[in-house]
Structure 1
C-alpha cells in the first residue's frame, strides 16, 4: 500500500495544491504545464503563475489575443509550434519579460507586428521557421537585445531592409535558408558583430553587393549553397575580417570562365577564408563544361584567354615591326631619289 501511495504522489497533478487548466497536465515539481495536442482554440485560462515551461504545440490556435499570457512573469519557455496561428494581437506577449525561448514555427504568420518584441527583451532563442513571412522590418525586432539564435528559415522573405537586425547585437546564429531572397544588399547585416553562423542557402540569390558582409567580424560559417550565383567578386569575401570563416558555395550555376577561376584562386589564397565544399562546385556554363566539377577544369580556364592574348600580342608586335621596316625602306628610297635629283642629268664634255 505504501509503495502505491508513493507512486500516486508522483503522478502528474496528483496531490497538487494549485489549479491546472482543463485538458492540460501540470508537473508541479518542474513548473511545466503540458497542453499539447488537445485541439485547443484559445490559450487556456488558469495557468499557474509560477509556470516556467508552457507547451501548447499541435493545437488549433489561430491567433494570440491581447494578454494571452498575462501575469505569467516566471515563464522561461513558450512552445507554440504546429498550430494555425496567423495573427498576433497587440501586447499578445505582455508579462513575458523574462521569457528566454519561444517556438512559433509551423504556423501561418505572414508578418511580425511592430510591437512584437516590446515585451521580449530577455528572449535568447526565437524560432519562426515554416511560416509565411514575406518581409522583415526593424521595428518588429528592435527590442530583442538579448537574442542569440533566430530561425526564420522556410518562409517567403524576399528582401531584408537595411538595418533590420541592427538591434540584435548579441545574435550568434541566423537562419534564413529556404526563403526568396534575390539580392543581398549592403547594410542588410549591419550591427551583427557577434554573428557566428549565417545560413542563406536555398534562396534565389544572384547578386551580393561588395559590402554586404563587411560588418560580420566573428562569422565562422557562411552558407550560400543552392542559390543562383554565377559569378562572385573577390572583395565581397575579402571584406569579412575574421580569424577563420568557412564558406559553403555548392549548388550554384557557376559560369566557369577565367574571371571565376581568378576569384576562387584569390579566395583560396586568403588564410582566413576556406571554401569548405570547393570539390563539389559544378559548372553550369559554358555548354562544353556543364556538369563538370570546377576543380577538374580550374587550371585550364585561363589557358585559352592567355593564348588569345599571346596571339594578339605577337600579331601587334609583328605589325609594328613590319611598319617600321616599311617606313625605313620608304625613307631610304626617298633619300636616294633626292640625291639623284640634286646631281642633275649627266652631260659629256665636248672635245
Structure 2
C-alpha cells in the first residue's frame, strides 16, 4: 500500500499547515466578477453590484476596491492583515459592527463615503491605529461622540462633509493630534466651543462652510497654530468679533467669509477694517461680502460702504458724551457752591435784623 504523501514528522506537518495557506492565498483565484493584478495584491470589485462577497480576496491583498457594489453589510475581512487601502464608497452600508477593523492593523486609507451610516460605535476606531485617511462624507451621521475616533492617533485627513452633524461632543477630536485636514462643510452645526479644536495644533485645512453657525467664541481658533485655510462661507453669521480671527496664530491664513447674513453696523465695518489691515490673514472673498441688514443697506457690498460715516458717528457720539459729562460736572459744581453759600447768606440776614 502506497501513501499519497511521503511520511513526515508531526512537527514538519505542523509547519506545512501554517505555511501552505499563505502560499496558496497568493496564487488563489480572484473573487467572482473582480479584477486582480500584481500577484493579487490589487483587487478591484467596484461597480459589480454584489449584494455580498461570495469569495474572499486573497490573504495577500493590499488594495481592495468594493465601491458601488450595493453592499448592505460589510464582508468579513478579519484575515486580510496586509490590507492597506479599502474603498467601500457608494454602497448602502447602515452600520459598522463593534471592533470590525481590529485585525486590520496595516490599514491606512478607509473610504466609507456615500453610505447610510447613522452613528459610529464606541469601538468604531479599534484596530485603526495606522489609519491616515478616513472618508465618511455623505452619510447620515448626526453627532460625533468623544469615543468614535479615540484610536486614530495617526490620522491626517478626516472627511465628514455632507452629513447631519448638529453637535460635537466635548473631546470628539482629542486623539487626532496629527490631523492636518478636516472637512465639516454642509452639516447642521449651529455653534462651536473653545474646546472643539483644542488639540488640533497641526491642522492646516478647516472647512466649516454650509452649516448654520451663528456664533463663534473668541478663542475657538486660537489653538490652530498651523492653519493655512479657513472656510466659513454660507453660515448664519451676523456679527464677528475681531479677536476671533485675530487670534489665528498662523501667518498667511486664507479666509473665506461670504454668503453670511452680515448686519453691517459700524461695529462690523470697523471689524472688517481691522481685519484687512492684518497681513497674516488673507481675506479671499472680501469683494463678495454683502449686507443683509439694516434694510437701508441690504444687498450692498460691505466694501462699498463709506466707513467715514462710522468715524463721524463715533466722533459725534464722543462729542455728545463729552458735552453731557461737562454739563453734569458743571451742574454738580454749581449745586455744591449754592449749598456752601446758603448758610452764609442766612447768617448775614440775621445780623442785619438785629
Q: Given the two structures, how large is their TM-score scaled by the length of structure 2? A: 0.83
**Alpha-carbon distance, 1:330 to partner:** 11
* Aligned with residue 46 of structure 2, among 24, 32, 36: 36
**Alpha-carbon distance, 1:338 to partner:** 8.5
Match of 2:310 in 1: 301
1:183 paired to 2:191: yes
Conserved? CA contact 1:261–1:302, under 8 Å: no
Could you give the per-residue CA deviations for residues 27-54 of structure 1, whole angstroms, max 9, x where no partner exists? 1357211111122112343301111211
Q: In 1, Cα distance between the equivalents of 2:36 and 2:107? A: 19
- After superposition, the Cα gap between the structure-2 partners of 1:49 and 1:323, relative to the gap in structure 1 and judged at 3 Å, is closer
**Alpha-carbon distance, 1:268 to partner:** 2.9
**Alpha-carbon distance, 1:204 to partner:** 0.2
* Aligned with residue 64 of structure 2, among 21, 31, 54: 54
* Aligned with residue 260 of structure 1, among 256, 261, 268: 268
Structure 1: 4+ residue segments shifted above 6 A? 322-345
Q: In 1, Cα distance between the equivalents of 2:146 and 2:349? A: 91
Conserved? CA contact 2:27–2:39, under 8 Å: no
CA RMSD of the aligned region, Å?
2.8
Q: In 2, Cα distance between the equivalents of 1:234 and 1:222? A: 15
Aligned partner of residue 313 in structure 1, secondary structure: helix
Q: In 1, Cα distance between the equivalents of 2:238 and 2:291? A: 9
Aligned runs of 1:71-86 on 2, under 5 Å? Answer: 71-86=79-94
1:211 paired to 2:219: yes
Conserved? CA contact 2:191–2:214, under 8 Å: yes
Q: In 1, Cα distance between the equivalents of 2:289 and 2:102? A: 49
- After superposition, the Cα gap between the structure-2 partners of 1:227 and 1:302, relative to the gap in structure 1 and judged at 3 Å, is farther
Q: In 2, Cα distance between the equivalents of 1:304 and 1:146? A: 53
Using the TM superposition, name which of 31-40 and 78-87 deviates more. Answer: 31-40
1:281 paired to 2:282: no
- After superposition, the Cα gap between the structure-2 partners of 1:73 and 1:301, relative to the gap in structure 1 and judged at 3 Å, is same
- After superposition, the Cα gap between the structure-2 partners of 1:143 and 1:328, relative to the gap in structure 1 and judged at 3 Å, is closer
Q: In 2, Cα distance between the equivalents of 1:30 and 1:272? A: 50
Gaps of 5+ in 1: 1-15, 346-351
Gaps of 5+ in 2: 1-25
1:25 paired to 2:32: no
Q: In 2, Cα distance between the equivalents of 1:56 and 1:23? A: 11
Aligned runs of 1:1-351 on 2, under 5 Å? Answer: 17-29=27-39, 31-64=41-74, 68-297=76-305, 299=307, 300-314=309-323, 317=326
Q: Given the two structures, how large is their TM-score scaled by the length of structure 1? A: 0.84
Using the TM superposition, name which of 276-285 and 319-328 deviates more. Answer: 319-328
Aligned partner of residue 88 in structure 1, secondary structure: coil
Q: In 2, Cα distance between the equivalents of 1:195 and 1:326? A: 64
**Alpha-carbon distance, 1:17 to partner:** 4.0
- After superposition, the Cα gap between the structure-2 partners of 1:191 and 1:323, relative to the gap in structure 1 and judged at 3 Å, is closer
- Count residues in correspondence: 328
Could you give the per-residue CA deviations for residues 120-172 of structure 1, whole angstroms, max 9, x where no partner exists? 11111111100000010121101111111110000000011121111111110
- After superposition, the Cα gap between the structure-2 partners of 1:306 and 1:31, relative to the gap in structure 1 and judged at 3 Å, is same
Conserved? CA contact 1:99–1:122, under 8 Å: yes
Aligned partner of residue 110 in structure 2, secondary structure: strand
Q: In 2, Cα distance between the equivalents of 1:194 and 1:73? A: 30
